Amino acid sequence: MPRFRVALSSDFRKADGTPTFPSVDFSPLENDPDIEMVWADAVDGEIPAAALEGCHGLILLVPRFSRASIPASDTLMAVARFGVGYDNVDVAACTEAGIACVITPAGVRRPVAVSVLTFILALSQKLVIKDRITRQGPEGWAKRSDHMGVGLVGKTLGQLGIGNIGAEVFRVAAPFGFDFIAHDPYADPALAASLGVELVSLEDLFRRSDFLSVSVPLSEETRGIVNAERLALMKPTAYVINTARGPIVDQRAIYEALKNGVIAGAGLDVFEEEPAPADEPLFGLDNVIVAPHALCWTDECFAGNGAADVAAIKALMAGRAPEGVVNRAVLDSARFKQRLAQFSKDGG
């Protein structure tokens, strides 16, 4: 049986060699005598094929993995993304090459759901504005009655997407007295019913939601799905929260909606361009709370993502398909099965 070779994208360590994220524990791989670990340095933001020659697995943070990243050695079985977004991975190229694209839904489920709730609470209680006027002394305190918050009991929490994260949002929000609605063409009706969620049309989701949270992956189907036309359907007292991917929301449209009072406010952790430029017009508005695509970044989140990626590598080493495979068709491909079989205890 060959020694299992695992590459980590080099952004998992700082220039001085210390871990970028100390809560990420790769010691189960580092301490395994059957594993050789190597670092893969990105070139112009992309992992080069030369860095992955002879590797069986890659754990990938920020750099891109493209068709040009696939090594000629034909050993690579999986690209394990650190997180659930995989827009930096050419999934089609992976599928053609018999390489699994793996994500970590269990690692981000609760942390991202908590970040959605954080936005809901901060927006409804006018937290950022109240923080600012408090720091102004008596003059600011005199303005506090101008910034009345909004109670949550009886309000409608809508989810665009009721998958891994969307369902968890409803679980963590259950004690607050919301009515729950969701739109998702791939929804499991039994899951929705168990969470007390009414499945509705896309238009009704926008019309009825007091808080609308976006929890869908970025695809051609979802790109710009939150647009000016749909924002115009919303209540002027409603809030939009996006913790998924920036391009799902038409950024110009939501700026105009916020500026013109079409909706009351927004919580945005993601943007069409990242890092967002300092002169982004949204940053000049008082009714939006923003975060640098990092609101869910906690020790819990990163430890969970790391553990999930470690588990994926260990599964491959045991000759098993890992959990969290995005391109499920690859599991039936002859090339993937052949690579996996060499590590199977029963020889495949």
Q: Please check whether residue 107 is in contact with residue 308, taking contact to mean a CB–CB distance below 8 angstroms.
A: yes
Q: Which of 245, 252, 273, 300 is catalytic?
A: 245
Cα(94)–Cα(70) distance, integer angstroms: 8
Catalytic residue list contains 147:
no
In Å, how far are 13, 65, 128, 281 from 7, measured between CA atoms? 13, 13, 42, 40
Q: Which residue has the tokens 């992955």?
A: 52
- Which of the following is catalytic: 274, 300, 320, 328? 274
Measuring CA to CA, which residue among 243, 256, 253 is closest to residue 285? 256
273 is annotated as an active-site residue: no
Told to judge if 293 belongs to the known catalytic residues of this protein, a careful annotator would answer: yes
Closest to 275 (Cα-Cα) out of 283, 286, 266: 283
Which token pair is 234?
Answer: 């919303």
Q: Which CA distances in Å does 77 have to 10, 54, 63, 64, 315?
A: 19, 11, 18, 17, 11
Cis peptide bond upstream of 275, omega within 30: yes
Say which of 96, 293, 300, 323 is annotated catalytic: 293
- Phi and psi at 182, nearest 5°, equal -155, 155
Catalytic residue IDs: 245, 274, 293
